[in-house]
Homo-oligomer: A and B are copies of this chain.
């Protein structure tokens, strides 16, 4: 027996007035999800704990069976891992933005006009040439990824994640000086180094030909690097060791891929998977079905519903869910349900009303030959709450799936 877990990012939601107090999931046309609900066992999941809004990183850690409250060690290293950057034990990584600030360091654009990836690459190349000798000689990696996004890794040991962000999070606010949170010597040093590096970055960016050209073209210059989410790689046992399985991830979002990498999963590249609404859903379904031939467990992650939710776009969220339903229909045609356990859930609730992650539970369905099928006939936040799984925690899902496919070990005699 094998298992596939489909995570529709931010798919769960709250009742929406313009949908007659249905949620986007409830209001969508989703024959495949409903069919899964009819043949499977349903329930609701608190990804972390009731009422606690998770990030996609902590929720994915939990859905893979880890106790995120204990093992989560910041976003930066996970995102870097997902981007293919090597982050070793002792290293500390940051999620960075190319951004635009005025001379008083007030942020004017947190994404530097969503600068083109090619331009960002040229800037990153110049930043990587910096040699930092004060306050300590520092080995670092600065790498741009897509558009304004980048990662910074300080090679360890000796660093601390107990520091604040330089990213103020809002336009119109000043770039923050990074401060140690607490008095540890490592935190004080880390804050000093990142502040020093940030000011070197500013110096190089200010007169960079790319930025001079952008100003000429009337585009906001990428004249500052904002850092946030200082993190180390979580020290977790790989899934292969815990359950003696081969596991793979099909997904495009760096953060989720990073979590999967940390869990020792193989990352499968899908050309056409973009982590956006326009992602190639069917290519993902195909790759996931193929991966299942080699692996015991596949995680298939789709970012689209979360993007629509953050944009407060109800119609697009419904359409994303309907495309996922269609993706599942293709997946099920290529998977032998008698030997594969299929689970579908969301990593968290993202409200199209608030545009934020919320702490409401998410629906879950598990279909497969071993499940105690219940009488839930529709896949939705409320219908699943009446299901045979009742209410479980995110970290309980993986043991449940592994139990259904015979990959758990007895505790006791």
Contact = CB atoms under 8 A, between A and B. Distances in A.
Given A382-B372, A399-B51, A403-B360, A58 B411 contact: yes
Contacts of A44: 390
A396 B49 contact: yes
A50 interface: yes
Interface stretch (A103-111, A141-149, A294-302, A351-359): A351-359
A51 B385 contact: no
Residue among A358, A398, A413 having the largest count of chain B Cβ atoms under 10 Å: A413
Q: Chain A interface mostly helix, strand, loop or mixed?
A: loop
Contacts of A409: 53
Contacts of A413: 55-57, 75, 95, 229, 255
B357 A51 contact: no
Copies in the complex: 2
A163 interface: no
A48 interface: yes
Contacts of A370: 14-15
Contacts of A359: 399-400, 403, 408
A54 B411 contact: yes
A409 B48 CA distance: 13
Nearest to A391: B390
Interface residues of A, number: 58
Interface string A47-75: 01111111111110000000011001001
A373 interface: yes
A54 B411 CA distance: 5
Nearest to A390: B391
A116 interface: no
Nearest to A351: B370
18 contacts: A14-B370, A51-B399, A51-B401, A51-B408, A72-B412, A229-B413, A354-B406, A356-B410, A358-B403, A359-B403, A359-B408, A360-B372, A372-B381, A372-B382, A372-B385, A373-B382, A374-B382, A386-B388
Interface of A: 14-15, 21, 23, 44, 48-59, 68-69, 72, 75, 95, 229, 255, 354, 356-360, 370-374, 381-382, 385-386, 388-392, 396, 398-403, 406, 408-413
